[in-house]
Amino acid sequence: MTSPSLTAKVPSREMRQAKAKAARVGWTPYLFAAPVVLYLLVFQGYPLLQELYLSFTSTSLLSPGKQVSIGMRNYTDLVGAAEFNRVLWTTFIYTLACVVFSVGLGLGTALLLNAPFRGRGVARSLITIPWAAPPVAVALIFVWMFNAQYGVLQQAFQWVGLSEGMEGWLNNPSRALPAVLLTTVWQIFPFASVVILSSLQGVSSELREAAVIDGADRLSVFGAVVWPAIRPTVMLLTMFITIWSLRRFDLIWLMTQGGPIGRTNTLVIELYRRAFTFRELGEAAAVGMVGLSVALLITVVYFRLSLRAERAAGQR
């Protein structure tokens, strides 16, 4: 009979095997990971630290080598400034609308494209075209479509009485953001659609059939069978689209440059304006750090929600 204390001190066979295996593996995993870690440190970590440092300085674009330390001034100037609050609000509205409309439309079209109908393959191919188009080309085409003199969309809006005056949507303070959103959603919803569609194809058909046999209607089948299966994908998609929308520059800049009168001025546009229009790299870095904090916050919230969902699923 062995005492419990003795048993605890002598490693089990499995543990010994695991230790031996670990000894054999040695540094190999670290060597494989090293290039990526090195890349991230050089091209992400170092610039990030530089940006953090810049945000505490007054640095001109014309003399980036001359950095004058000013402590928290760039941040205190941002906090409470009505103009910056408006930038945050515009960013929030733009991001929220992008997520709601693109995921919503993506889900709807994915459900449609998952149902059997003639020409489904062609439809699935066609829907990816907006996503495949380069954002610069999309922005320029939409700028022409919204052009007050020659644009087809502008003409269409005029016919239905939705266009006052002649300034066009992109120059109208109350319509510029909807116009930019329309363009953005048109371009990104196909991505949501394709991702959700691939997730839908993994939903067990036996489960659906069983639910139908049990008398469930379409909505109940979706709620009880389909949604739980695609929920993690939709969550991940939501996080991606949120972060992409927070940092989207090309479409907005090319369409409005943040105007008119700041109505489409998001965090990234404000960063660019401060860096290249006002030539204040320190202020721009502070705006960048605020944007990074928001993105990190969203990522943390997402992972906490995912963890909670996993635990809840485990308890069931």
Position 178 contacts other proteins (CB under 8 A): no
Q: Which of 88, 93, 133, 147 binds other proteins (CB under 8 A)?
A: 147
Residue 200: which of 185, 222, 224 has the closest Cα?
222
The distance of Cα 275 from the centroid of its chain, to the nearest Å, equals 23
- The site string for other proteins over 59-88 (x = CB under 8 A, - otherwise) reads -xxxxx------------------------
Considering beta carbons, is residue 64 or 104 the nearer one to other proteins?
Answer: 64
Residue 238: which of 107, 48, 150 has the closest Cα?
107
Q: Which of 106, 190, 258, 291 binds other proteins (CB under 8 A)?
A: 258
Q: Which of 10, 276, 293, 299 binds other proteins (CB under 8 A)?
A: 276
Is-contact 197 125, C-beta < 8 A? no
Distance from the first to the final alpha carbon of the chain: 41
Q: How near is the Cβ of 84 to other proteins at its closest, in Å?
A: 12
All residues at 6 or more sequence positions from 244 whose CB lies less than 8 Å from its CB, including other chains: 188
Span from 4-12, 189-197, 272-280, 284-292 in contact with other proteins (CB under 8 A): 272-280
CA distance 126 to 141: 18
Q: Which of 108, 130, 135, 260 binds other proteins (CB under 8 A)?
A: 260
Is-contact 312 100, C-beta < 8 A? no
Considering beta carbons, is residue 123 or 136 the nearer one to other proteins?
Answer: 136
Is-contact 251 135, C-beta < 8 A? yes
Considering beta carbons, is residue 70 or 112 the nearer one to other proteins?
Answer: 70
- Number of residues that this document lists for the chain: 316
Q: Which of 278, 296, 299, 301 binds other proteins (CB under 8 A)?
A: 278
Interface positions with other proteins (CB under 8 A): 60-64, 147-149, 165-168, 170-173, 256-262, 273, 276-279
